[in-house]
Structure 1
Amino acid sequence: MIGYVTLGTNDLRGSAPFYDAIAKEMGVGRMMDFDSFIAWGQWDGGAGIALTKPFDGNAASVGNGTMVALEAKDRDQVGRLYEIALANGGSDEGAPGPRGEPDQGGNTFYAAYFRDCDGNKLNAFCMVKD
């Protein structure tokens, strides 16, 4: 159902390398690149992510309680995405590890949390069988 998610930025070109590195690890690249926004993903793929300068011309701000979750293929990729985020100007919001109790099928939610250069919160996650 979700086609893409857009996050606000006050420095589009300065924030783009953070998402270039994340997208590269996830096997995608830029699919649109304009003066006012950049989008990463694949035209025929799943949901993408975009950065934009706010249309109204006001400063971008972080949504309290808003987060974008990036589905990783396994625990190792969760860890790599977390490290990539921190190495590209992101900040730590929770190191990789299991969260909560296993579901009825024995799957555990495994995640890492981080913020981008503008303070937008993201996580990388996967479901793993314990």
Structure 2
Amino acid sequence: MIGYVTLGTNDLMGNAPFYDAIAKEMGFGRMMDFDTFIAWGNWDVPGVALTKPFDGKDASVGNGTMVALEAKDKEQVHKLHEIALANGGTCEGEPGPRGDADENGMVFYAAYFRDRDGNKLNAFCMMKSDG
């Protein structure tokens, strides 16, 4: 259902390397690249985009808004968190399990971070609770 998620930015070119690095780790590159808008991903899966607000006003962070990036495994959750911090992001929650295992023994494993504009993202995977 979701084609892509757009986040506002006040510094498109300054924030692009943050998302270039995150997308590269996940096996993606830029799928659209304009003066006011850049999108990462491909047309087979939902992507993430940054844009300068159309109304010309400053971008602001949505309270309670977050983009969740599905990692392939626990190691990639850690790697994406490291990449985010190395590219100007800030930590909003170290990598680790969240909550209890479900009835199938699966646990939600995630790390939380913000980009340079303050947009909140996480990297997550579902994994066996003993893994």
TM tier, smaller: over 0.9
User: For residue 56 of structure 1, what is the aligned residue in structure 2?
Assistant: 55
| Aligned pairs for 1:10-49 within 5 A | 10-43=10-43, 45-49=44-48
- Whichever residue aligns with residue 99 of structure 1, its letter is R
Shift of 1:42: 1.0
User: For residue 107 of structure 1, what is the aligned residue in structure 2?
Assistant: 106
- Whichever residue aligns with residue 49 of structure 1, its letter is V
Report the secondary structure of 1:57's partner residue.
coil
Shift of 1:64: 0.4
Q: Identity of counterpart residues, as a percentage?
A: 78
Report the secondary structure of 2:81's partner residue.
helix
Separation in 2 of the partners of 1:120 and 1:110? 20
- Whichever residue aligns with residue 93 of structure 2, its letter is G
The runs of 5 or more residues in structure 1 that have no matched partner are none
Q: Give CA deviations for 1:85-130 in whole Å, capped at 9, x if unaligned.
A: 0000000000000001111111000000000000000000000012
Report the secondary structure of 1:80's partner residue.
helix
In the superposition, the TM-score normalised over structure 2's length comes to 0.97
Shift of 1:57: 0.3
- Whichever residue aligns with residue 15 of structure 2, its letter is S
Give the CA RMSD over aligned residues.
0.5
Separation in 2 of the partners of 1:119 and 1:66? 11
Runs of 4+ in 1 over 6 A off after TM superposition: none
Separation in 1 of the partners of 2:94 and 2:75? 13
Separation in 2 of the partners of 1:2 and 1:101? 28
Report the secondary structure of 2:38's partner residue.
strand
